[in-house]
Structure formats: structure tokens, C-alpha cells
């Protein structure tokens, strides 16, 4: 059995930066954009509340608090729910992910009160599926210090102990944190998950610390790469120098051998005609040596010319890419969509090329959904790349003018209705 993950962390201020991370208004580097459409909002906000930060404020305004909220007071607690990577992969593969989400939310509702859990999102675009939940720490029991005072003084209480208060410390005592771990593990036991080792030194790493560590590792790795490249350049130059020296030594050896042979021949011969023949042979060898040296210089010059041409071509390509990014910024947005349509939707190369013209096309046939792992019929369906709404920031694949995820879910709901089956309720839990 794998282990459960139940991590609580006090948020600072309005926690708007974490809201952007959770709701993907800013895309983190460790998330796969091709899977972001699989993320789910598990708790829908009240009418008029647009995001997680506003939901926190909405709960505070309607909680009946009597005291003014301090500027440094904790207004929300982040809760991260997950399990061991292998076990979460198993839960997803066996179709138990919806039940795991429902059971996890029910534990939060039972433990902290349904009205205090103001936000919950399932992330499927990171390495391990997990839930980001947000708790507004509203408590009703008497303060710990007040309890101690009452035990000593026994004074008459003028204020009701049932008055709601905002107090994260009362929720995150050492004893309660341990009980949350025990309770959540018990709720997850039928999913094949168990509690971690009590008293373990293992600690959760925050998102900010993860990015800092990642950046540090990246800088260290780049430093190693730069050092290795410098060492390689020195080694390459040393190798070329050795090769040149080897060629020169070989030529010198050839010349010395030829001179020795000529000397020996002269020493053994004493005839004018044969001496002249040896002189001609010596002259031919000298010319051969000069020719070899010339060829070596030409080869070195050719290598330098090729290296210069490579640098010029690389510089030209870099400049070309920069111009594309500067004058055609949509290319960066279109490329991930094209890859998704080719690999996941199984669109043809010709269809993807036409869609890049940013004009709607009509298609008929069967369209594949990786969320439902099946194909749905399309009859004269409009297909285009664009924004679903004018206020959207990210390009998407539009089918009949709506985001393709919503289009497939509408078709699935219609199919279930035709089969007499009830609609699934796992895409959101209304409070």
C-alpha cells in the first residue's frame, strides 16, 4: 500500500499568487500544457464570485465575525491532497479517480465544515494527480487562553462561546495536525492508501521552494556545461596541434629516410650516372614533401572555412527564429495546438495546415476524445483555432465555437441520455 499526502500551509494575505497557480491563469514550468484541459474545478463558487481569492473574502464577509480582521492575520489555509505517485497512477488507470476526489472532499467537509472549504481544484497536468483545497479557518469553540482563565477565575462570561472567530492557530495545533493525518488515512484506506510513518523526518516542499531548488540546479548544471564546453574547446585545439606535429614528424622521418638511402647509395657507388639518378630521386622526394605540406595547409584552411560557415549559418537561424517570435507571435501559440491535434486528435497534416490560417473549417466524421477514450460523430462541424471568449488569454481548439473539452462533454452527456443513463456529477460539487 502507498501513502496518503495531506499537507496544510498557512497562506499570506489574499494569496493571489497561489490563486493564479491553482487556476492556471499563469502556467507553471512543471505543468504539461497539453494536459491542462483535464484539470477540474471540484467546488464551484457562489454567484458573483469569480475566483479563489474572491471566494476567501466572500466567506469572511458572510461568517458573522465580530472582531476586525488584522492585517497580519491568516485568512486561508492551503491543503494539498494526494498519494504516492504509483498509487495515484493506479487509481486513475482503474477509473477510481472520481471516487477518490469525492471521498477526499467529503473528509474535508466532515472535518472543517462544508461552508469553510471555499475552493478545490484537481490538477492532472503535473507529475502526480493532486487536489488543491482552500480552508477559511472559522472556529466556534472558546479560545485556548480564555479556557485557562475561566478555569482559574471562574468569572461570568458575557460573550457566547459559540461566536465565530477567525483563528488558524486553533486549527493547526500539533495534536490536531496529527489527527488530520490519521483521519484522512482512514478515509482513504479503501483506495489502497495508508498513513505515513508517524514522526518521520520527511517534509513537504512548497511550490516556491521547489522552483528555487529547480532554478539553482539549472544554474549549477549550466555552469558544468559551460566548463565542459571550455574543456572540450581546449582539448580540440590540443588534438589539432598534436595532429599537425605528427604530420610534420612523419614528413621529417620520410625526408631523413630518403637522405639516408641516398647517402648509402652514394657511398656504395662511384659512378657519375648513378649519382645523378640519385640526385633526381632526392629532388622528387623534396617536391613530394612540399606537396604534402601544402595539402595539409589547405585542409586546415578548409576546416576553418567550414567552421566559419557553420557559425554564420547558426547566427542566421537564430536571427530568423527571433524575427518569427517578434513579427509572428501566434506561431508559439499555434505549435502546441498543432502537436495536440496531430498526436491526440489524429488530424491530418493538411487539416492542421489549413487550421493555422485561423479560419473555421467544416469537417465530418469521427473525432477522438482522450478524456473519454472514444470517438464521437461530427456532421459538418466547425473546427478552428482561436479564443472561446474575447477575454481569454490562451489559444484553444474550438468545435462549433466552443472549447473542445466542453464540446466532447456535451456529446458524452447526450450519449448517456440517449442510453437512458444519468449524467455524471463528478465535474463539480456545488456548495
Encode pLDDT of 261-310 as tens digits. 766 665 555 455 666 777 788 888 888 888 888 888 898 898 889 889 88
Point out the least confidently predicted range of 33-47, 192-206, 290-304, 388-402: 192-206
Which CATH number applies to 2-202: 3.30.390.50, 3.40.50.300, 1.10.3720.10, 3.30.930.30? 3.30.930.30
pLDDT at 29: 84
φ/ψ (deg, to 5) at 364: -135, 145
Torsion of CA 56, 57, 62, 68, to 10 degrees: 120
Going by pLDDT thresholds of 50, 70 and 90, the confidence category of residue 4 is very high
Going by pLDDT thresholds of 50, 70 and 90, the confidence category of residue 429 is very low
Report the relative pairing of strands 396-399 and 374-386 from DSSP bridges.
antiparallel
Residue entry with cell 488515512: 185
Residue entry with cell 612540399: 290
Contact 46, 431 (CB under 8 A): yes
DSSP lists the bridge partners of residue 375 as: 368
Report the relative pairing of strands 43-44 and 130-135 from DSSP bridges.
unpaired
DSSP lists the bridge partners of residue 41 as: 121
pLDDT at 210: 54
DSSP 3-state assignment of 353?
helix
Q: What is the average pLDDT across 61-77? A: 92
Residue with the bigger pLDDT between 263 and 227: it is 227
Angle at 329 between CA 324 and CA 333, to 5 degrees: 115
Going by pLDDT thresholds of 50, 70 and 90, the confidence category of residue 236 is confident
Contact 77, 137 (CB under 8 A): yes
% of the chain exceeding 70 in pLDDT: 82
Q: Taking 50 as the threshold, does the pLDDT of residue 234 lie above it? A: yes
In angstroms, the CA 173 to CA 192 distance is 28
Point out the least confidently predicted range of 35-39, 197-201, 283-287: 197-201
pLDDT at 45: 94
Residue with the bigger pLDDT between 236 and 5: it is 5
Q: What is the average pLDDT across 393-417? A: 92
Q: Taking 60 as the threshold, does the pLDDT of residue 84 lie above it? A: yes
Q: What is the average pLDDT across 31-35? A: 91
φ/ψ (deg, to 5) at 81: -115, 130
Point out the least confidently predicted range of 30-34, 56-60, 117-121, 256-260: 256-260
Contact 401, 382 (CB under 8 A): yes
Q: Taking 90 as the threshold, does the pLDDT of residue 367 lie above it? A: yes
* 157-189 residue pLDDT tens: 555 667 899 999 999 999 999 999 999 999 999
In angstroms, the CA 345 to CA 341 distance is 5
Q: Could you tell me the residue ranges of all domains in the chain?
A: 2-202, 238-327, 331-430
DSSP 3-state assignment of 379?
strand
pLDDT at 428: 45
User: Residue 17, class by beta-carbon neighbours within 10 Å (0-12 exposed, 13-18 middle, 19+ buried)?
Assistant: middle
Q: Phi-psi region for residue 306, left (φ > 0), alpha (ψ -120 to 50) or beta?
A: alpha
* 308-359 residue pLDDT tens: 988 988 888 888 888 887 887 788 888 999 999 999 999 999 999 999 998 9
% of the chain exceeding 90 in pLDDT: 50
In angstroms, the CA 379 to CA 350 distance is 19
pLDDT at 199: 54
Q: What is the average pLDDT across 244-249? A: 80
Point out the least confidently predicted range of 146-155, 295-304, 388-397: 146-155
Amino acid at each position: 500500500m502507498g501513502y496518503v499526502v495531506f499537507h496544510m500551509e498557512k497562506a499570506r494575505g489574499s494569496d493571489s499568487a497561489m490563486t493564479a497557480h491553482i487556476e492556471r491563469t499563469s502556467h507553471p514550468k512543471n505543468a504539461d500544457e497539453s494536459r491542462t484541459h483535464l484539470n477540474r474545478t471540484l467546488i464551484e463558487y457562489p454567484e458573483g464570485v469569480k475566483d479563489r481569492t474572491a471566494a476567501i473574502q466572500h466567506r469572511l464577509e458572510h461568517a458573522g465575525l465580530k472582531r476586525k480582521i488584522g492585517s497580519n492575520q491568516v485568512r486561508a489555509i492551503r491543503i494539498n491532497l494526494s498519494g504516492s505517485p504509483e498509487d495515484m497512477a493506479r487509481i486513475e488507470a482503474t477509473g477510481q479517480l472520481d471516487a477518490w476526489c469525492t471521498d477526499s472532499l467529503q473528509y474535508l467537509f466532515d472535518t472543517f465544515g462544508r461552508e469553510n472549504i471555499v475552493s478545490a481544484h484537481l490538477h492532472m497536468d503535473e507529475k502526480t494527480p493532486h487536489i488543491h483545497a482552500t480552508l477559511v479557518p472559522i472556529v466556534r469553540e472558546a479560545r485556548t487562553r480564555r479556557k485557562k482563565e475561566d478555569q482559574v477565575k471562574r468569572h461570568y462570561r458575557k460573550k457566547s462561546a459559540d461566536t465565530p472567530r477567525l483563528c488558524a492557530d486553533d486549527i493547526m495545533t500539533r495534536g490536531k495536525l496529527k489527527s488530520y493525518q490519521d483521519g484522512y488515512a482512514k478515509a482513504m484506506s479503501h483506495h489502497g492508501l495508508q498513513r505515513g510513518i508517524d514522526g518521520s523526518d520527511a517534509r513537504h516542499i512548497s511550490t516556491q521552494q521547489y522552483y528555487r531548488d529547480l532554478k539553482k540546479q539549472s544554474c549549477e548544471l549550466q555552469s558544468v556545461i559551460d566548463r565542459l564546453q571550455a574543456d572540450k574547446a581546449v582539448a580540440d585545439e590540443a588534438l589539432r596541434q598534436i595532429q599537425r606535429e605528427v604530420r610534420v614528424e612523419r614528413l621529417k622521418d620520410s625526408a631523413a629516410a630518403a637522405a639516408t638511402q641516398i647517402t648509402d647509395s652514394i657511398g656504395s657507388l662511384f659512378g657519375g650516372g648513378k649519382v645523378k639518378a640519385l640526385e633526381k630521386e632526392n629532388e622528387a622526394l623534396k617536391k613530394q614533401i612540399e606537396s604534402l605540406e601544402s595539402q595539409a595547409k589547405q585542409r586546415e584552411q578548409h576546416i576553418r572555412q567550414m567552421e566559419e560557415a557553420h557559425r554564420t549559418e547558426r547566427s542566421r537561424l537564430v536571427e530568423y527564429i527571433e524575427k518569427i517570435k517578434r513579427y509572428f507571435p501566434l506561431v508559439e501559440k499555434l505549435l502546441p495546438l498543432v502537436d495536440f491535434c496531430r498526436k491526440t486528435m489524429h488530424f491530418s497534416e493538411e487539416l492542421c495546415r489549413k487550421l493555422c490560417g485561423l479560419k473555421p473549417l467544416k469537417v465530418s466524421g469521427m473525432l477522438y476524445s482522450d478524456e473519454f477514450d472514444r470517438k464521437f460523430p461530427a456532421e459538418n462541424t466547425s473546427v478552428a483555432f482561436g479564443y472561446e471568449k474575447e477575454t481569454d488569454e490562451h489559444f484553444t481548439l474550438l468545435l462549433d465555437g466552443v472549447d473542445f473539452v466542453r464540446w466532447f462533454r456535451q456529446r458524452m452527456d447526450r450519449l448517456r441520455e440517449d442510453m437512458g443513463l444519468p449524467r455524471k456529477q463528478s465535474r463539480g460539487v456545488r456548495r
